[in-house]
Amino acid sequence: MELLLHPTTKHSVDNILASPSQAILLHAPAGSGKGLTAKYISSRLLNITLEQVDNSSKIKILSINPDGKEKRLSIENIREINGFLKLKTTGNSNYRRAVIVEDAQTMGHEAQNAFLKTLEEPPKDTIIILTTTNTELLLPTIQSRVQPLAILAPSKKATLDYFSVKYTVAEIEKAYLLSEGAIGLTTALLENQTDHQLVKNIELAKDVYRKNIFERLNLIDNIVKTIDISSFLLAMERVSHVALYNAVQKKDSSTKAWNKRAKLILESQGYLANNPNSKLLLSNLFINL
């Protein structure tokens, strides 16, 4: 299976496959296909198919709980990796094992420091791939020990050509608009991957917009407990942008209202930098939508 990659990203991936670095950092916004790219690189280096990756004993994949309840990678997760790396490998190929750490930015300082020791002296037969949405949340010492690789969004034409065998132009354009070109989310939307966290967040965002103010406020406790707020606001932003685009195209009377909602979402996203109280942030947003 060949991935749909931006030409610049494909060139970087090809270079890594030709001359691998033992530690790689894939960075891009949420939904950009970092996880799938990490699996693709691992499968090529370990000489297995992409479809075999999830069930392969040669690969350890570490990620936050997909139901959203576990929002950080802990030092216990790092110990899992270290235990995996102590196992003996068989064969004589250069790479016989891979570790994939998704959403590495969710590691706290203690976990990052523990993981740093692994990065400093990884087993020679092991490739380590980290993914992140924000490199600034990783310690400089970790960043200095990995080869960075940006996952860029493919063009709309490339996306249409890639998916045209299975989906209509209208279906692809709808998914492309909602994902803003992020190939991972585009794929998840087209394949209706209901277990994909971003797809879940988008469906929840649509539901929030449909509800009245009292119904919206009743959702806040559950959202705060189970979902990363920045990811939820991103979903709210994507839905509002699509609704605004459609309203403008149709010259609909709802254009002004959707424009206001889009601005409110952007304001709320800006407040996140100050670590606000999540309940108060969402309450203010939901009241004014």
- Residue numbers of the domain that contains 46: 7-150
The predicted pLDDT at position 69 comes to 53
Closest CA relative to residue 85, chosen from 47, 120, 58, 48: 58
User: Based on the domain organization, do 142 and 225 belong to the same domain?
Assistant: no
Asked which of 9-18, 59-68, 203-212, 269-278 is least confident by mean pLDDT, the reply is: 59-68
DSSP 84-120: HHTS---SSSS--EEEEETTGGG--HHHHHHHHHHHH
Mean pLDDT value of segment 132-139: 94
User: Based on the domain organization, do 95 and 17 belong to the same domain?
Assistant: yes
The C-alpha R_g of the chain, in whole angstroms, comes to 20
User: Based on the domain organization, do 199 and 134 belong to the same domain?
Assistant: no
User: Based on the domain organization, do 133 and 78 belong to the same domain?
Assistant: yes
DSSP 173-210: HHHHHHHTT-HHHHHHHHTT-TTSHHHHHHHHHHHHHH
pTM, two decimal places? 0.86
Mean pLDDT value of segment 224-249: 93
User: Based on the domain organization, do 198 and 263 belong to the same domain?
Assistant: yes
User: Based on the domain organization, do 199 and 93 belong to the same domain?
Assistant: no
User: Based on the domain organization, do 97 and 16 belong to the same domain?
Assistant: yes
The predicted pLDDT at position 211 comes to 96
Indicate the DSSP class of residue 152.
P
User: Based on the domain organization, do 22 and 78 belong to the same domain?
Assistant: yes
Q: Is residue 234 part of a domain?
A: yes
The predicted pLDDT at position 65 comes to 56
* Domain final position from 150, 174, 209: 150
Asked whether residue 270 carries a pLDDT value surpassing 90, the answer given is: yes
Mean pLDDT value of segment 201-230: 95
The predicted pLDDT at position 67 comes to 47
User: Based on the domain organization, do 214 and 136 belong to the same domain?
Assistant: no
Mean pLDDT value of segment 228-232: 91
* Domain total in the chain: 2
Closest CA relative to residue 38, chosen from 130, 147, 142, 107: 130
Indicate the DSSP class of residue 155.
P
Question: What CATH number is given to the structural domain containing 69?
Answer: 3.40.50.300
Q: Is residue 168 part of a domain?
A: no
Tell me the pLDDT tens digit for each residue of 62-101: 887 544 456 688 889 899 999 999 988 888 888 999 999 9
User: Based on the domain organization, do 143 and 12 belong to the same domain?
Assistant: yes
Q: Is residue 46 part of a domain?
A: yes
Q: Is residue 279 part of a domain?
A: yes
* Domain final position from 150, 180, 212: 150
When pLDDT is cut at 50, 70 and 90, the band that residue 33 belongs to is very high
Q: Is residue 62 part of a domain?
A: yes
